[in-house]
Amino acid sequence: MVRGRRYWIVIWYGILLLGVLGLWASVYWGRQTRWKNLDELLRSVGTITVSLGMLLLLNRVAEVLGQVLLVVALVSFVLAFVYGRKHPVAAPPPDSEDRDEPRSTA
């Protein structure tokens, strides 16, 4: 038996909420950046699957599915790390409005 199982269940529900919010934010950001944030999407999917897997294990419901979800989460986090290292985010080019050039007032 896991000590403080009820507290761990509440903690994993909070992590699940953070994963869902992260997925929502990364989908919103991905639409604007033409899906160049695949690593962020993979991290949020990993967060959701690890929290669902832990909740299944803590509640003693579908323990095999919980273990499969933990493996899927591990693969998702590793792929996010690999993809993030291969595709660094480039800094946007400076706009002409951001420069400190004097503006004509004519």
Q: Determine contact, residues 66/56, Cβ cutoff 8 Å.
A: yes
Structure confidence at residue 65 (pLDDT): 95
Calculate mean pLDDT across residues 95-104.
57
* Mutual angle of helices 38-58 and 63-86, in 10-degree steps: 160
* Mutual angle of helices 38-58 and 5-32, in 10-degree steps: 160
Give yes or no for residue 14 having a pLDDT over 90: yes
Q: Structural domain boundaries of the chain?
A: 5-88
Structure confidence at residue 83 (pLDDT): 85
77 CB contacts (<8 Å, ≥6 apart)? 42, 43, 46
Tokens standing for residue 96: 């002409």
**Which has more pLDDT, 102 or 54?**
54
- pLDDT tens column, 43-82: 999 999 999 999 999 999 989 999 999 999 999 999 999 9
Give yes or no for residue 106 having a pLDDT over 70: no
What's the distance, CA 39 to chain centroid? Answer: 8
